[in-house]
Chains A and B, each alone.
Chain A
């Protein structure tokens, strides 16, 4: 048996501890429904366990493998839902973005969550809210040059965070 194969309960437990939160966060983002996201995560680990002897860490990370399984689960769920309109629960409109787009959005959002508060704040204020550097500098009580430098280090941190969570350009 290949070492690293996901065949024992112990392996599943470890894989769950390491990756369930991310898989769930993405499933909620993609499916727009917490209950369905739970189903998707549970099904993902069940399928991973069934195919556990085929997981080869030499070929790619466990994380990437689990996301690939989740991708199929989400597509199955979306397909089943697409033919039965009007089943979205709790008034949340499910996302209809194709999976890969949704995954990319989620990865960038997750990376933005991971960088420091100061960095995230200047990126959000300057980029997403389009506010002038001078205004943000005044609000934060720092020189304008500091805002500029935080934008730079923020982008760098974002790049590192994206690599950490498996973004491949």
Chain B
């Protein structure tokens, strides 16, 4: 390997690029740079990196957050769900997540989707649960189906492993089970459930979790 006559100069370039070189060393380095294109090029490269350093927050340099191990399975599950349903309901998951986040704010909201061509899809109902314990969030979207009602439910903040039972309450007070699921992975869960009750006959949706039952009204269309 060729000896490197610039090595000592170059090792000052980092400090210089960061504005940290002692003032008495600067004139000699500048004189060297005048006559050394390769050190000038090196300084240019270092200066652009040094300029980016102000963008970082030194207090954020600890261990990077890592995704929970179940997230990969959820990604694959959401894709196979969608494949199974023929790529329907494209924006549903994100919509549900946001619905869940806003659960504390909104009451029941009626959502009508106007399709291109002017036809109106049967209205789905976005339902929010209020008066929940701190940290627990539940939201649901109900879709009218030929078989009854499809329930997209969103839960956040229950103890991991908690059993959640979901039911619909008809206008005459009967309760029909929509099935159960376990809240997992400590963050968000949004299973798709169904019950053999028409959405138009549904008065409320309920969820039983942690020994308590929460009800949310379902408005008439």
Contacts and interface: CB of A to CB of B under 8 A. Distances in A.
Interface of A: 9, 12-13, 16-17, 20-21, 24-25, 28-29, 34-39, 41-43, 45-46, 49-50, 73, 76-77, 80-81, 84, 86-87, 89, 101, 104-105, 108-110, 112-113, 120, 123-124, 126-129, 133, 145, 148-149, 151-156, 158-159, 162, 167, 169
Contacts of B20: 126-127, 133, 151
Contacts of A124: 58, 61
A87 B188 contact: no
B4 interface: no
A78 B91 CA distance: 16
A38 B188 contact: yes
B49 A21 contact: no
Given A80-B98, A159-B46, A169-B48, A148 B75 contact: no
B187 A38 contact: yes
Nearest to B105: A84
Q: Which of A50, A76, A123, A152 has the most CB of B within 10 A?
A: A152
A34 B57 contact: no
A120 B57 contact: no
B158 to A, nearest CB: 13
Given A29-B60, A39-B188, A50-B90, A105 B55 contact: yes
Contacts of B52: 104, 108, 162, 167
7 smallest A-B Cβ distances: which pairs?
A152-B14, A128-B58, A24-B67, A108-B56, A151-B14, A39-B97, A149-B11
Given A38-B187, A162-B49, A105 B56 contact: yes
Given A38-B71, A113-B61, 20 more contacts: A9-B76, A9-B80, A20-B71, A21-B67, A35-B156, A35-B188, A38-B188, A41-B71, A45-B78, A50-B90, A76-B94, A87-B101, A109-B61, A120-B61, A124-B61, A133-B15, A152-B12, A153-B14, A154-B14, A162-B52
B72 interface: yes
